Every structure is written in structure tokens, then in C-alpha cells.
Amino acid sequence: MTIIVKCVCLVLVISFQTWNFTEAQAVNSRAFATATQLISDAGYPVEKHRVHTEDGYILQMHRIPAGRRSARRTSQKGKKAVLIAHGLFGSSGDFVIMGPQRSLGYILADAGFDVWIANFRGTMYSSHKTLPKSDAQFWDFSFHEHGKYDLPATIDKILSVTGLQKVMYIGYSMGSSSFFAMTDMRPEYNDKIVASINMAPGIYIEPSKDLFTFLLKTIKMPDLMRAQGVHYMNLPSNMRDILINTICTVKRDEDDLCMKVAQLFAGDDPEQIDKDVTPKILARFQPASWKQLEHYGKLAITGVFSSLDGGLDTPGKIYDLKKCRVPVVIIYGNNDRLTPKAESIRLAQELNATGMLDEVTPVANWPKFNHLDFEFAKDVGNVLNKPLVRTIHNLFNKYDAL
């Protein structure tokens, strides 16, 4: 399928913000359970923690302090902490949505870790001291601000609550972009992280150049939408309800338009789609700012990991990977079209040159593992998350005393 058709699919989804559906939809209410509801329903202890950033945002972070079968339902002093950060259009719910045997949050809690799951600004779990979400200024951010403000405040909150000096970091896609932006702008936070595990890191995404060129330069989607008073990308509730009840929950794969569109962007892996979880995934589709789209577009168009300053065609201030003084693990999917293997290897080579690369590896040599599989694959528990426990233990043993 041509790049134009791919773009049209995305345009149609975003354009539903201005459509008016009047037909009532009977949506499964449990699909809309919050992250804390999901965690509690699964039998795990859960806590909410408010994170205040320097520039006025208030972020709700979710903690799983103990495993489901733990004798103690609260965190024990000195327990090793792991922070997980989500990708674009995601939230903390992405790491508990697949259930106790598959989701990373539960698996790490059952392995004895103190699990903290972040929420960046823009998600349903965020607000601002003075700005309502209807204000365009609320949405004036990209992963640059996640790295400059959100992650530092989140890390400080964890260390303050636990009394620990360091935390293990796991970033998925945008969670990795934010991490490396942070180590450039806030290098003092290197000393607060044991090691960084980066899954499908959103650093180099040049293969998406044609897509972003069409969206940002040909049709100028962000400018068009801002002119209509639409400050952010979102999946409107009326359209989401229709997708959940009809289009995206058909039984036959050949009739599943949502699956086909998603795999155009993420990579083909139809046998790993769990249709029972699809409604929950759609219900958790989070809004994103136009600057986030523009920033990733700039990464794709220039091929350089830099700030958004200076327009789309010229690199801004380069985020210096040499400032990362944290051991890094990179995990990529062999069939990831958004953050392909070659781009992860490029990142690994640059980090290896600085001495900070601990390991670069595919997901269990799974040939079809794509970008979405990191969170939502049927077998994500066995092929990624359970083996990741051993990796985390090894990283703590190697680097926690440094």
C-alpha cells in the first residue's frame, strides 16, 4: 500500500474529532477501567502518587509495591525500584492491560520489584496548576519537555518516597526519546539511574520520512487542525465507541480494518493480536500534542536526534548521547516498522562508542515482532517480559553499587 493511503488512514482517524455521531453505542464499561482499577481487580496492591513538575504540570504515577501473592501488601524498605515509561498515545495502563501472566507491571511486581509506572503530560492522568486542557498552552510540549521536566520530577518522587538513591529505568518508544533527552538536558539524573532498558527506542526513525513529510509539509496537518481550534491529536469518544463495538472487534482477521491499519505502521504480526484485549487498548488511546507529531517528524526528516528548534528541515540542538552515563540495554523487534532494527543498531553503535552500551538484542529472535507487540502481543509475557526479569536482576547486580 502506498504511503499516501497510509497517511489517509491516519488523517481519517484524526479527522473524526470534528465528526458528530448521534447513534448511541453500548460500550463494555470494563474496557474503560482505569489503570488503578485494573491493578486492583487483578488482586495487586496499588498506590497513586502525584508528581509536580517545575513548570506546573501535575502527573499521576501508579505504583505496584508488591506482588499478588506477597505476604506484605506494602513496599518493604530498600526494595529495588523499577520505573516504566510509556510511548506516544499511551499511559500507565498499557503495562497492566494484558493481565498478570503477560503485562510487565505485574510480572515485575511478582518478581519482587517495587514497580512505578509513569504518566507523561497529556494523558488522562495529567493536569496543570492553572491551565485547563482546553487551553492551547497546555499542549505546548513534545518529548523534549518530558525529558526536561516530567522524568526528573518522576524520578525524584520515587526516590523521595522510597529513600533509595537510584531506580532502574525502562522506556518504551517515546519513553526512550524522553530518557535520552533528559540525560542531555539534565545530566545530573544519570546518577539517579542504575541502568536504562530501551524497548523500541524512538531515537532514529528515518524510514518514516515519507509519512511525516506528507503529514507535516504536504498537507500541513498540525496547522490545519490548529486553525480549527483542535489543539491535540485524539480518538474522540464517539468514534472510539464505534470502533470498540463494531469495526475493531470483528471475529475474522480478514474483516479487521483496525488490525490492518495498525500493522501498516507497526509491522505485520496478526497471530499475536488478542481480540479480547482490543477494546481495552482502544479505550486507553491517549491524546498527544501536535508538537509531539512535529518533533518525531523532524527526527524522521533530518535523521538527527535533536530538539524541535529551527523548523522541520534543519536539525535543532542535538541531544548529545555522550552525556548519557548510564549503562544501556536496547531491545528491538525484527519486524518493527516504526523503530526498525537498523535504527536501533545505529543507536547501539553510538552508545558503544561511549562505553555505555551493555547489550543490544532482538526480542527472542521473534521474526514478526513489531512495534505494538512490546505491549500487546499475545505471547509478550513469555517472549519478552519474563526474560526481562533476569535482565533486570543482572543489571542491578552489575551496576547498583556503582
Assign 3-class secondary structure to 359-390.
EEEECCCCCCCCCCHHHHCCCHHHHHHHHHHH
C-alpha span between 318 and 305 (Å, rounded)? 6
Residues with catalytic function:
173, 336, 371
Helices (H), ranges, 216-305? 221-227, 237-245, 257-266, 278-283, 290-302
- Amino acid type, 169: Y
C-alpha span between 362 and 384 (Å, rounded)? 10
Beta bridge partners of 170: 84, 197
C-alpha span between 371 and 361 (Å, rounded)? 15
The answer to whether the beta carbons of residues 171 and 135 sit under 8 Å apart is no
C-alpha span between 8 and 368 (Å, rounded)? 25
